[in-house]
Amino acid sequence: MQDNKASALAGRKVIVTGGAGFIGSHLCEALVDLGAEVLCMDDLSAGKRTNVAHLENKSNRPNFRFAQLDICDSSSAMDDAFEGVDTVFHNAASKKNVCLIDPHRDLEVNAGGALNLLQMAKKHGVRKFVQASTGSVYGEPQIFPTTETHPFEPVSYYGVSKLAGERYVDVFHKLYGLDTTILRYFHVYGPRQESNEFGGVVSIFLRRITQGQNPIVFGHGDQVRSFTWVKDLVEANIRAAVDPAATGQAFNAASGIRVTINELAQGMLDILDPERRLMIEHGEPLVGDIMEFDVSNAKIREQLGIEFVADFWGTLRTALSDVDAFLGRGETAGIAA
């Protein structure tokens, strides 16, 4: 993304938390290309150093550095990291599935971590704070298409902890005048997406299919999702950081595309298993799984000018043509010619 507003980040020091993760690593790349001085902050509990290894080549990317820090850390190391920072892109979070295993850690990271970063931002005079949140704060939507004014009724620990993080962001904007923006992510897909049990459904299906295993759909599979291309979220983050229209606002960062989980699984089988050796399996429904996301992205399109990828299947087919890049690995795997 190269435009006059985005170029304002050139030479500015920025922090990307969760920067070695799926979304964060793509954001780091874009910011480096814009000429920002990028500090990638990640404790590597979920992120991978290999996701940003290409950016650590100092001869090619002198404006990038990595710091292995926990966002809950309030030591002098965190103070040092925040020295001279202009913008914080807060993408670090516990995974949605992890919250069922350790809800206390989920709260500590998603709420306490956000609070710690906000306190650091206030202390060091940070200009802008962009908070990554989730559509899970709405719970099971009752109004379609779902806009940013929908009531908050989360039905998962993850939704509760992310909503708490949002509330802290709002408080720092209202009490201290910190320039903040909240972006609510929906079903992001793209290269480097985690394919383990804590990853996204697209990469999980991809891993299973390329290993010759049936994709498992939990529940009946009629759950509706709004799959969003990772590069579109990168653009949304950068626009949120530089456009005055984003100040104090929350946006649905979603494609608005409606795809059921059954449609996704069958579509990926059609692409990756044309010989039809595999089939969809169904498992027990997941606790806290939301049935339908029919999301309005009108606000972010109109106020920030974001244009989301409209051709989900074409984009997915192109992305899946390089399985190793999608899964962020070096080895070759595949069952289809």
Question: What pLDDT is recorded for position 17?
Answer: 99
Average pLDDT along the chain: 94
Cβ-based neighbour number of residue 139 at 10 Å:
19
pLDDT at 330 over 80: no
Nearest CA to 184 out of 122, 131, 115, 126 is that of: 131
Minimum mean pLDDT among 39-43, 96-100, 116-120, 179-183: which range? 96-100
* CA separation for the pair 282, 232 (Å, rounded): 31
The answer, yes or no, to whether residue 336 has pLDDT greater than 50, is no
240 or 329, greater pLDDT: 240
Give the number of other Cβ atoms within 10 Å of residue 104's Cβ: 10
What is the set of active-site residues? Answer: 158
pLDDT of residue 62: 87
- Among 97-106, 126-135, 205-214, 217-226, where is mean pLDDT lowest? 97-106
* Residues contacting residue 321 through CB under 8 Å, at least 6 positions apart: none
For 39-51, write each residue's pLDDT tens digit: 999 999 999 999 9
Average pLDDT estimate for 9-37: 98
Q: Averaged over 19-34, what is the pLDDT?
A: 98
What pTM, to 2 d.p., does this model score? 0.94
- Report the interhelical angle of 22-34 vs 230-242 (nearest 10°): 50
Determine the pLDDT at residue 2.
Answer: 52
Distances (CA, A) of 141 to 99, 154, 155, 251, 287: 21, 9, 10, 16, 16
- 2-188+229-254+294-308: in CATH 3.40.50.720: yes
Residue-level pLDDT at 197:
80
Q: Range with the lowest mean pLDDT among 48-62, 222-236, 303-317? A: 48-62
- DSSP strands (E only) in the chain: 13-17, 37-41, 64-67, 87-90, 128-134, 179-185, 188-189, 216-218, 224-225, 228-229, 249-253, 259-260, 281-283
Residue 334 pLDDT level (bands cut at 50, 70, 90): very low
Predicted confidence band at 331 (pLDDT cuts at 50, 70, 90)?
very low
